[in-house]
Amino acid sequence: MKDILEIKEISYGDFPEISGLNPRFRPGSQKVKMVLDIQVPEVSGNMDLYLILMKLMKLLPSLEKHQCGEHLMEDLKSGRKTEGESCSERVTDIAHLMEHVIIDLQSRVTGMDSCSGITCGYKNPYYRFDMFVECKDKKVGLFSAFYAVDLFEKLLRNKNLSRKYFAIIDLAKYLYRNKLLQMQMGFDPLVTRISSELGWKKSFVLSLLRELKEFGLFNFDHALVT
């Protein structure tokens, strides 16, 4: 099955050329940049962005409080964005919503008190976007982008979110806040500590660490080979 979302490029830097596009950008702030193709299938009319937003707000409740110059959240919650849209309008809404998810993820994991972004659409192809989001930590920024793409791939296919998606965010936050991303302790003691403090089975912890490895947040290769 062809992916709906495809990352064409991902990088990290200050990107001074876009600093004036959002007045909320902090001077000199580092950002993650993602070039993303969003190619919704022909059945995209069945994609209810209102329902997608409702699922996202269960995962990230603070999404509802985001400030958005395009009034995206208000339009989605009211249903004004679910009918009569062209394909290009729909993919633009998806891209903007994903930008907000990346912002929220970073804030949830790192405790950032302010995080801004901007999404720039291409004229050709209309389904390609440059997405820029401020970062406090490079690894968390890249993780948030990769995780968001995986999350939206699931949601855009009308799938429900499993426990895994909630737990990945909790574990990322735990590892970051406890300064454990650089593996300052042995792997087995780390798994035992996570299992004990978060109340999860060790097998579940291992599966989540593999996911975080795929998303680029956790890197302890030889310990994840079983």
pLDDT at site 65: 76
Closest CA to 103 of 203, 202, 29, 185: 29
The torsion of the CA quartet 189, 150, 63, 204, rounded to 10 degrees, works out to: -30
pLDDT at site 187: 80
Helix, strand or coil for residue 107?
helix
Domain end position, chosen among 102, 134, 155: 155
User: Looking at the structure, do residues 86 and 168 belong to the same domain, yes or no?
Assistant: no
**pLDDT tens sequence for the chain (226 residues):** 678 999 999 999 999 999 899 998 999 899 999 999 999 875 444 567 888 888 999 999 988 777 665 566 666 766 655 556 778 888 998 999 999 999 999 999 999 888 999 999 999 999 999 999 999 899 999 999 999 999 999 999 888 899 999 999 999 999 999 998 876 667 888 899 999 999 999 999 999 999 999 998 887 654 443 3
Taking the whole predicted model, whether its pTM rises above 0.95 is answered as no
User: Looking at the structure, do residues 186 and 124 belong to the same domain, yes or no?
Assistant: no
Spatial separation of the C-alpha atoms in residues 106 and 114, rounded to whole Å? 10
For 224, the token pair is 């994840």
For 3, the token pair is 């992916």
For 152, the token pair is 């939206």
pLDDT at site 218: 80
User: Looking at the structure, do residues 168 and 148 belong to the same domain, yes or no?
Assistant: no
Residue 19 is classified by DSSP as G
Amino acid at 211: E
How many domains, the chain? Answer: 2
User: Looking at the structure, do residues 150 and 171 belong to the same domain, yes or no?
Assistant: no
Residue 61 C-beta-side C-alpha neighbours within 13 Å: 0
pLDDT at site 67: 67
User: Looking at the structure, do residues 79 and 128 belong to the same domain, yes or no?
Assistant: yes
User: Looking at the structure, do residues 67 and 112 belong to the same domain, yes or no?
Assistant: yes
Spatial separation of the C-alpha atoms in residues 109 and 210, rounded to whole Å? 18
User: Looking at the structure, do residues 39 and 90 belong to the same domain, yes or no?
Assistant: yes
Range of the domain at 41: 5-155
Task: Give me Rg for the CA atoms of the chain.
Answer: 18
